[in-house]
Amino acid sequence: MNKKVLLGMSGGVDSSVSALLLKEQGFEVIGATMELYHCGKCCNPETYADAKSVCNQIGIPHFIFDFQKEFQTHVIDDFISCYANCKTPNPCIECNKYLKFGYMFEKAKELGCDYIATGHYAKTEYSDTYNRFIIKKSNAGKKDQSYVLWSMPKEVLGHILFPLGEFESKDQIRKIAQDRNLKVASKPDSEDICFVPDGDYEAFLETHSSIQPKEGNIVNRQGKIMGKHTGLYHYTIGQRKGLGISHPAPLFVLGFHPDRNEVVVGEEEELYQKEFLVDDVNLLLYDSIVEPLKVKTKTRYSAKEYDSTIYPLEDGKMKVVFDEPQKAITPGQSAVFYINDVVVRWRKNYLTSK
């Protein structure tokens, strides 16, 4: 009997080609589109129609699962909470944890599926070295998406397929779609936050939460007032544009004093730091780490990873120390640790220090 797989389908070319590849590999494929948020890029009539059209074309069933309530609780509410607490969130990570590899995995089990799959550019395999299933970088270079999978439940790893992990470019995926005459072959990528399709997250926050403009001071580290702001949520660490300050050297956002409603700014060299603390543990490669471990750490999706050492702390947090200071470490973003191309563990930035 063929192995059965539930594939998350967004209506885009990556998940559509994933469906095609899995079927050609002999899997019994079921397409699943999650209904998450109306009026967003991920959930609209075109999304559902494109996913269903591809499923009909290649001859597999298609289902739509209503996860709007769960998406609100785990993704949108977290997004709002982060900005309310001067953090810069990555909502895709929360969506992966709770929706794509959480609730969808439960649906897969209900349907008798052996696996779930997505169109992420990443790899998962069993490692004899580590005696467990692991996540690895894909072959896609800058398009690798292993960074956004840090929160995946460990018990799900052996039941995940990433059909695109061996491909080196999106052009290869589009060519497969074109050769098979899939209607989504030329469909543009979606790069914005799916529930903020116009990219105006500030307006979204003001409309969907109690966060509202509130004037305060922009100060330097010595407390000198440098200008005015209209709300802490308008700023993120490392930001240069939009400060409205005349200064001999460019100024950047360094941090916040929420209790005083202040944005802290400074010159570029002040953005660099060598260490920071993280929490929200999800060990993937080891059951525990009790000694310092040399890794490469990546702190933003688009950033490179750099040589560092991670130190376990008694309170369950972790201290990360870079070999060389790095720029704009930002609470709310994720710190991802690698050994070669293998994910060691993933953590969410908790508190910057020094």
Active site residues: 95, 194
Q: From 340, 21, 2, select the one nearest 164 (Cα to Cα).
A: 21
According to the 3-state scheme, what is the secondary structure of the chain?
CCCEEEEECCCCHHHHHHHHHHHHCCCEEEEEEEECCCCCCCCCHHHHHHHHHHHHHHCCCEEEEECHHHHHHHHHHHHHHHHHCCCCCCHHHHHHHHHHHHHHHHHHHHCCCCEEECCCCEEEEEECCCCEEEEEECCCHHHCCHHHHCCCCHHHHHHEECCCCCCCCHHHHHHHHHHCCCCCCCCCCCCCCCCCCCCCHHHHHHHHCCCCCCCEEEECCCCCEEEEECCHHHCCCCCCCCCCCCCCCCCEEEEEEHHHCEEEEECHHHHEEEEEEEEEEEECCCCCCCCCEEEEEECCCCCCCEEEEEEECCCCCEEEEEEEEEECCCECEEEEEEECCEEEEEEEEEEEEC
In terms of phi and psi (left: phi > 0; alpha: psi -120 to 50; beta: otherwise), the region of 42 is alpha
Backbone angles phi, psi at 240, to 5 degrees: -115, -40
Give me the half-sphere count of Cα atoms (radius 13 Å) on the Cβ side of residue 1: 6
